[in-house]
Amino acid sequence: MNALAARRPRPATTVLLLILALVLGAAALVTFATRPASASSAASGDQIAQGKALFQASCASCHGINAQGTMTGSGTNVAGPALAGVGAAAVDFQVGTGRMPMAAPSIQAPRSKVQFSQEQIYAMAAYIASLAPGPAIPTAAQVDFAKGNAAVGGEIFRVNCAMCHNFAGSGGALTRGKYAPSLAGSTPTHIYEAMLTGPQSMPIFSDSDISVVGKRDVIAYLKAISKEPTQGGSRLGSLGPVSEGLFAWVFGLGLMVAAAVWLGKKAA
Amino acid sequence: MSTATTPAHQRPADALRDGDTAARPAPSTGARRLGGVAGWVDDRTGAAKGVTYLMKKVFPDHWSFMLGEVAMYSMIVCLLSGVFLTFWFVPSAGETIYHGSYAPLQGIQMSEAYRSTLDISFEVRGGLIIRQIHHWAALMFVVAVSAHMFRVFFTGAFRKPREINWVIGTILSLLAIVEGFAGYSLPDDLLSGTGLRAMEGFMQSTPVLGSYLAYMVFDGPFPGSAIIPRLYSVHVLLIPGILIALFTAHIVIVALQKHTQYPGPGKTEQNVVGFPVLPVYAAKAGGFFFIVFGIIALMSALVQINPIWGYGPYDPSPVTAGSQPDWYMGFADGALRITPGWLEFHPFGYTLSLNVALGALGLIPVMYTITGAYPFLERWVTGDTREHHLLDRPRNAPVRTGLGMAAMTAYGVFMFAAGNDIMAVLLHMSINDITHFFQVGLFVLPPLAFWVTKRICLSLQRRDRDMVLHARESGTIIRTAHGGYFERHDGIDEFERWPLVQHEAVAPLELPAGTDANGVASPTARSERLRARLSHFYFKDAVNPVTPAELAAAHPGPHEEEVPALEHDADHFVGIEQDHADGVGAPRH
Amino acid sequence: MTTGMSDHSADIAPADHPSHPAELARTAPTGQLPARFENPGLPTHIPRMADLDEKAARRAEKQVAALFGLSILGTLGFIASYYLVTEHGSVFVPGIGLMRAENLALGLCLAVSLLGIGLGAVHWAKTLMPDTEVVELRHPLRSSDEDRQALVTTLREEGRKSQLGRRPLLKYSMLGAMTLFPATLTWQLVGGLGRLPHNDLSTTEWNGRYLGGGKWQFVPKRLMRDPENTPIKASDVVIGSVFHVQPEGVLDMTEGKLEAKGKAAVLLMRLNPSDIRSTKELDWSHDGIVAYSKICTHVGCPVGLYEHQTHHLLCPCHQSTFDVTNDCHVIFGPANRPLPQLKITVDSEGYLISAQPFEEAVGPSFWERGS
């Protein structure tokens, strides 16, 4: 059975791979086109100055005029943490996913509309990176998930990520209203940066924890499962048995009862 | 054919004389063949009479009576699709490397059980649809069993003579959830393995014997390689065997006792009003099987269930957020989530883990014992030892309906507590707050549900009384000849009235005289006092049906003369005595 | 008003026949009016369209036939899809997105095949089969008093012939034999199902080398990344990171790997030493790097959710929350005991190793684990 199945041509797989390759190509193009030549190592003085100006206009109210961090009025809580050493990757992730600047103080910065152009984000990233060394924005090769091994990435994902983000990356609850967000729609670069910098409650997965290759594999796995067609129909949010049970009670029983009512009703 | 269509007496010579009995027309070929086969069987079984009786059996028609059929048919679909799955499933924890067509698992180490389930989903043509049918049918089975139980409870169908069937049904419901648990644990994916991991923890929490019990069931340390094949034989042989045996008894008893029916005109404790098995019910119930199967197939075509390839193979180190059991085990899981940790004690250097044992080991037996015992409890409290074949309208048993809603609410608190993490994410709330809410809710919500339900029932009963006494307010104001004004009430005819007045008047049991004057509290006296108290609890607020006398009092004769417009109604209401005279029952005066 | 009733009066037993004394008392007439209303009997039967109009009947017939025909089409479609739909091809479905075509096609065709028959049969029954309600009388379930007495008599009389009552020796020896015999099969089952735990639940691979007979010799083991199976240098562990760890050798095991992983799984985190509030925790750490069992002390799920800002560990199964700054004490949820800590140090090459086994049993509670 299996041997036969393995020899049979699989047009769908081919199509899938083709689509994947196309998407990859497009993504790579976009990344290359907008990436500054030297985001991490040798940012130009102009870029840093532009970034500093942007920072002071939009971020300094919480993070301090020199990114040294500030406390709230009562001095008991951190309004914005010090940013020296968080690295360009943290800036690109936080600002590039719209989490920063935060609209209002809350328990967790939600993903929202991006406020800056990618150029501006790179400038701010360069400024923060100039304060102290920190994780750099990953290179195109590091997030080139076409080279990754999705199966290995899946194993790493299940051990390190699934307990918070759920098996399908749909997200999950943390303590006291915090949550691990859904990973749907996250770009490879942002996924990489999140692992590298550990935003908010998320722990840091440095390159010595999950290797550069391992991170690429994780991205490859996430992209593979988000691109694959659903096998058995609507995923019901990939939330597991809770949504399945709800569906059985509401739609399953609903349809059965509707049929039973029709069956018991006298014909016209 | 020709013999049947040519009557013998057409020729004059064969004309019948007076007193001759007509020759029976020869049966058609079809009838002869049927008779031949039936005769062959009857010669060997003598079943003709019994089968004829069964074919003529009458079943009442109501949608809520089909809930049990949904359960039965879902079970049959499970059995059918389950047999299919056994042809491909390999119940083994043996290790293997995946080389199938699902790319994200290529080269991953996994058990034979998980690999074969992947193969059913990806390599076997149409295998996934069978798997999904099996799983959806299993969910629908337990959903329908529960809905059926609610129907039986709230209509009082469990009363004498049906207590045995209530108990059998309770056991069936318990078996159904155990069967479901065994089934979804078989694929050995990350989610089901986490469930088994917890199950092993439950067993370990058994006082004194815990670790021995767990090592016996798992044949050593968790997970071991024994649990998958053992669960398999439990899932495909042991429990289905008992399920089918008990279910057969359940159905035979229904046939023997005849189905209950809702109260209505012409329906009494002594009859069943409905349709015969042949042809109507055979077509309806037979067709309904296909409808139930068809709906399950439709769900399986469009909605994915248990995507085991997404969870990955079981490994005790990883886990997924939102690790929940299937819905019917949710109440036990939820109970564990809201039990506080201080319930673990450490007496004399031993560990007594009541924080686990209460929810995991205690809840199910307690819940099912209470459920199974309820008919006997109610019978003792009400002192009603008669047979009941007419169902109660839920409003006419306010305390029972209230108790049922309270029990359902408690169950709901447990069940929804198992989804606290999903709610926290979807509703943007704190999981801690949600958990505290359920902890408090377990004690607050059921009594509240009881009180609210009972009040609703009582007001519905009062509305029924109102309807009978004053009928519907029409909103039409009529001026009488004498210059008075009144609102015209549209009358209801006796067919509409009957369901509102058919139930019995009830009153609390009186304490047997002298029991409390004794001074010495004998055990009997104490139990009688308890019984009287409970009876008081059941019936003290009873709203009893309108009696003819009350109706007559509400529409006194003079009213009729005063209001000519009411003549039609008055005929109805005041003319009861006359109705009685031509009524069905023996005239009583 | 009562015409319907007259049609059926022959079939219907008197309504509310007062067969019980209690009911008789309740229904006793008071004054001129009866105590209760009378059952008015079945309402008049209203014929259906198909009963009155042959055209409507023929229309219903056609509808039923169409449904049966649809079912046939569904069956043919199922067989056609079985061969024609490509094995892993996909199709876009509004509301679902891209989905596997095979499942959709086979499932929908099967549903049509089944629903066609079901809806057709029910529609047939509703429109064309007789819809006059039939009344069947109930008969009391209980046997007559004579029959019941006869049963009792038979049981007693015939039972007496066994002489069981007269011969106590027979009675008690039989009872003894019958009570004891299930022990045979139970013994086999209980004895054969599993082995005894001994100290299995209290030991893990961190105990070192297994000497047999439940004895271990402690050997320090490197902490290895799961699933990469590589050793970890202390300098690799930055503040805010979390490593999922197995002892050296476990991930290479060919037998008993999952069992070993299930007990030995460890979480490795680094805290600022000044944030650690427990002296024992600090003592057992290496420069703020702490290792704790990943197996929940509630029912054994992996406690994996580490919030690096609050240093809280959350179990996804039942939400027990452990405070890593305070020796992993429970701060929320149904667990009672803190997660056991693994004492660690570094070897000469700078890799993290275990300094001693877990001091207590990891994972869910059991009676004899000690307090």
pLDDT digits (tens, 9 = 90+) for A217-248: 999 999 999 889 999 999 998 888 999 999 99
Q: C343 and C210 in one domain?
A: yes
The reported pLDDT for the residue numbered B474 is 63
Of C104, C301, C369, the CB nearest to B197: C301
The reported pLDDT for the residue numbered B473 is 61
Chains with 3 or more CB pairs closer than 8 angstroms to B? A, C
In chain A, the residue whose alpha carbon lies closest to the alpha carbon of C271 is: A203
Within B21-174, strands assigned E span 58-59, 95-97, 109-111
pLDDT over 90 (residue C9): no
In order of start, what are the domains of chain B with their CATH numbers?
Answer: 31-58 (no CATH), 61-384 (1.20.810.10), 393-454 (no CATH), 456-582 (no CATH)
Interchain pair A229, C90: CB under 8 A: yes
> Which residues does B171 contact at the CB level (< 8 Å), separation at least 6?
B246, B368, B372
Q: How many folded domains does chain C comprise?
A: 2
| Least confident interval from A196-200, B464-468, B482-486, C4-8 | C4-8
Within a domain: C360: yes
Q: C349 and C240 in one domain?
A: yes
Within a domain: C11: no
Interchain pair A231, B307: CB under 8 A: yes
Position C68, amino acid: F
Answer whether A262's CB lies under 8 Å from A254's CB: no
Q: C350 and C211 in one domain?
A: yes
The stretch A68-78 carries a mean pLDDT of 75
Within a domain: C39: no
Within a domain: C151: no
The reported pLDDT for the residue numbered B24 is 66
In Å, how far are A150, B529, B535, C22, C23 from B511, measured between CA atoms?
Answer: 76, 7, 10, 16, 19
Interchain pair A245, B106: CB under 8 A: no
CA B564 to chain centre: 51
Confidence of residue B521 (pLDDT cuts 50, 70, 90): low
Of C8, C107, C304, the CB nearest to B297: C107
C228 contact A CB<8A: yes
**Which residues face C307 on adjacent strands?**
C312
Query: Longest C-alpha distance within chain C, in Å?
Result: 108
Helix (H) or strand (E) holding B187: none
In chain B, the residue whose alpha carbon lies closest to the alpha carbon of A260 is: B63
ipTM entry: 0.89
The reported pLDDT for the residue numbered B183 is 96
Of C247, C262, C260, the C-alpha closest to C352 is C247
What's the angle, vertex CA C295, arms to CA C292 and CA C297, rounded to 5?
95
pLDDT over 80 (residue B511): no
Position B306, amino acid: N
> Which residues does B51 contact at the CB level (< 8 Å), separation at least 6?
none
Query: Which residues between 125 and 184 in chain C have a beta carbon less than 8 angstroms from any beta carbon of chain A?
Result: 126-127, 131
Tell me the shortest Cα–Cα distance from A10 to chain C, in angstroms.
Answer: 7
pLDDT over 70 (residue B7): no
The stretch C200-216 carries a mean pLDDT of 90
> Which sequence spans correspond to the domains of chain A?
36-135, 137-229
pLDDT over 50 (residue A119): yes
pLDDT over 90 (residue B573): no
Point out the domain boundary residue: C127, C152, C171. C127
The stretch B517-543 carries a mean pLDDT of 79
Tell me the shortest Cα–Cα distance from A30 to chain C, in angstroms.
Answer: 25
Within a domain: C43: no
The structure tokens listed for C51 are: 């009963």
In Å, how far are A69, B113, C300 from B200, measured between CA atoms?
Answer: 49, 19, 8
Q: C332 and C223 in one domain?
A: yes
Of B101, B106, B309, the CB nearest to A10: B101
pLDDT over 80 (residue B587): no
Q: Is C293 helix (H, G, I), strand (E, B) or coil?
A: strand
List of chain A residues whose C-beta atoms are within 8 Å of the C-beta of residue C85? none
How many residues does this entry show for chain C? 371
> Which residues does B19 contact at the CB level (< 8 Å), separation at least 6?
none
Q: Do A36-135 and A137-229 show the same overall fold? A: yes
The structure tokens listed for A101 are: 């600047």
Condensed to tens digits (0 to 9), the pLDDT of residues C263-286 reads 999 999 999 999 999 999 999 999
Point out the domain boundary residue: C95, C127, C159. C127
Q: Is C361 helix (H, G, I), strand (E, B) or coil?
A: coil
The reported pLDDT for the residue numbered B496 is 87
Q: Is A230 helix (H, G, I), strand (E, B) or coil?
A: strand
pLDDT over 90 (residue B400): yes
Condensed to tens digits (0 to 9), the pLDDT of residues C78-98 reads 999 999 998 778 999 999 999
As a dihedral over the C-alpha atoms of residue C26, residue C32, residue C33, residue C39, rounded to 10 degrees, the angle is 90
Query: Which residues between 155 and 194 in chain B have a beta carbon less than 8 angstroms from any beta carbon of chain C?
Result: 161, 194
Residues C240, C246, C252, C256, CA torsion sign: negative
Within a domain: C327: yes
The structure tokens listed for B347 are: 């007496």
Residues B570, B56: Cα–Cα separation, whole Å: 43
The stretch B374-386 carries a mean pLDDT of 92
The reported pLDDT for the residue numbered A200 is 87
Query: Which residues between 199 and 258 in chain B have a beta carbon less than 8 angstroms from any beta carbon of chain C?
Result: 200-202, 204-212, 214-224, 226, 256-258
Range of the domain at C107: 49-127
Condensed to tens digits (0 to 9), the pLDDT of residues C295-339 reads 999 999 999 899 988 899 999 999 999 999 999 999 999 999 999
The reported pLDDT for the residue numbered B243 is 96
C342: left (phi over 0), alpha (psi -120 to 50) or beta: beta
Tell me the shortest Cα–Cα distance from A15 to chain B, in angstroms.
Answer: 14
Residues A94, B377: Cα–Cα separation, whole Å: 63
Confidence of residue A100 (pLDDT cuts 50, 70, 90): confident
Confidence of residue B510 (pLDDT cuts 50, 70, 90): confident
Confidence of residue A36 (pLDDT cuts 50, 70, 90): very low
Interchain pair A253, B318: CB under 8 A: no
Within a domain: C62: yes
Within a domain: C64: yes
Interchain pair A156, C99: CB under 8 A: no
Q: C359 and C270 in one domain?
A: yes
| Least confident interval from A77-91, B302-316, B564-578 | B564-578
Q: C89 and C219 in one domain?
A: no
List of chain A residues whose C-beta atoms are within 8 Å of the C-beta of residue C238? 204, 206, 208
The reported pLDDT for the residue numbered C297 is 94
Tell me the shortest Cα–Cα distance from C334 to chain A, in angstroms.
Answer: 14
Interchain pair C368, B350: CB under 8 A: yes
Of B207, B546, B588, the CB nearest to C367: B207
CA B279 to chain centre: 26
Tell me the shortest Cα–Cα distance from B518 to chain A, in angstroms.
Answer: 55
pLDDT over 90 (residue C3): no
Answer whether B121's CB lies under 8 Å from B107's CB: no
List of chain B residues whose C-beta atoms are within 8 Å of the C-beta of residue A165? 321
Interchain pair A256, B144: CB under 8 A: yes
Condensed to tens digits (0 to 9), the pLDDT of residues A46-62 reads 888 898 889 888 888 88
List of chain C residues whose C-beta atoms are within 8 Å of the C-beta of residue A11? 86, 88-89
Answer whether B93's CB lies under 8 Å from C255's CB: no
C21 contact A CB<8A: no
Confidence of residue B578 (pLDDT cuts 50, 70, 90): very low
Residues A148, B215: Cα–Cα separation, whole Å: 41
C49 contact A CB<8A: yes
What's the distance, Cα to Cα, between the start and end of chain B in Å? 60
Answer whether C231's CB lies under 8 Å from B302's CB: no
In chain A, the residue whose alpha carbon lies closest to the alpha carbon of C243 is: A209
The reported pLDDT for the residue numbered B556 is 64
Residues A112, A116, A119, A120, CA torsion sign: negative
Of C273, C228, C271, the C-alpha closest to C248 is C228
Condensed to tens digits (0 to 9), the pLDDT of residues B251-267 reads 999 999 999 999 999 99
Of B451, B478, B449, B73, the C-alpha closest to B286 is B73
Interchain pair C366, B214: CB under 8 A: yes
List of chain A residues whose C-beta atoms are within 8 Å of the C-beta of residue B325? 241
Interchain pair A172, C309: CB under 8 A: no
Residues B310, B316, B318, B322, CA torsion sign: positive
The stretch B327-338 carries a mean pLDDT of 94
Q: Domain A137-229 is in which class?
A: mainly alpha
Q: C250 and C123 in one domain?
A: no
Answer whether B153's CB lies under 8 Å from B169's CB: no
| Least confident interval from A8-22, B58-72, B178-192, C4-18 | C4-18
DSSP code string of A89-113: HHHHHHHHTT-SS-SS--SSPPP--
Of B185, B189, B191, the C-alpha closest to B236 is B185
Phi first, then psi: give them for residue B276, nearest 5 degrees: -75, 160
The stretch C232-237 carries a mean pLDDT of 92
Interchain pair C370, B505: CB under 8 A: no
- Any idea which fold A36-135 has? Cytochrome Bc1 Complex; Chain D, domain 2 (1.10.760)
In chain B, the residue whose alpha carbon lies closest to the alpha carbon of A179 is: B425
Q: C209 and C345 in one domain?
A: yes
The structure tokens listed for B47 are: 């079943």
Interface probe, candidates C70, C258, C310, C315, chain B, greatest B C-beta count within 10 A: C258
Confidence of residue B302 (pLDDT cuts 50, 70, 90): very high
Helix, strand, coil content of chain B in percent (nearest 5):
65, 5, 30
Of B215, B356, B493, the CB nearest to C365: B356
Position A173, amino acid: A
CA B224 to chain centre: 38
What's the angle, vertex CA B155, arms to CA B364 and CA A244, rounded to 5?
50
Q: C115 and C204 in one domain?
A: no
Of B200, B215, B270, the CB nearest to C137: B270
In chain A, the residue whose alpha carbon lies closest to the alpha carbon of B327 is: A245
> Which residues does C10 contact at the CB level (< 8 Å), separation at least 6?
none
Condensed to tens digits (0 to 9), the pLDDT of residues C18-48 reads 344 344 444 444 456 788 888 888 988 888 8
The reported pLDDT for the residue numbered B522 is 65
Condensed to tens digits (0 to 9), the pLDDT of residues B199-233 reads 999 999 999 999 999 999 999 999 999 999 999 99
Of B136, B297, B302, B300, the C-alpha closest to A249 is B136
pLDDT over 80 (residue B247): yes
Interchain pair B422, A239: CB under 8 A: yes
In chain C, the residue whose alpha carbon lies closest to the alpha carbon of A260 is: C122
Interchain pair B119, A1: CB under 8 A: yes
Of A205, A231, A268, the CB nearest to C103: A231
Tell me the shortest Cα–Cα distance from A49 to chain C, in angstroms.
Answer: 31
Interchain pair A8, C87: CB under 8 A: yes
CATH of the domain at C236: 2.102.10.10
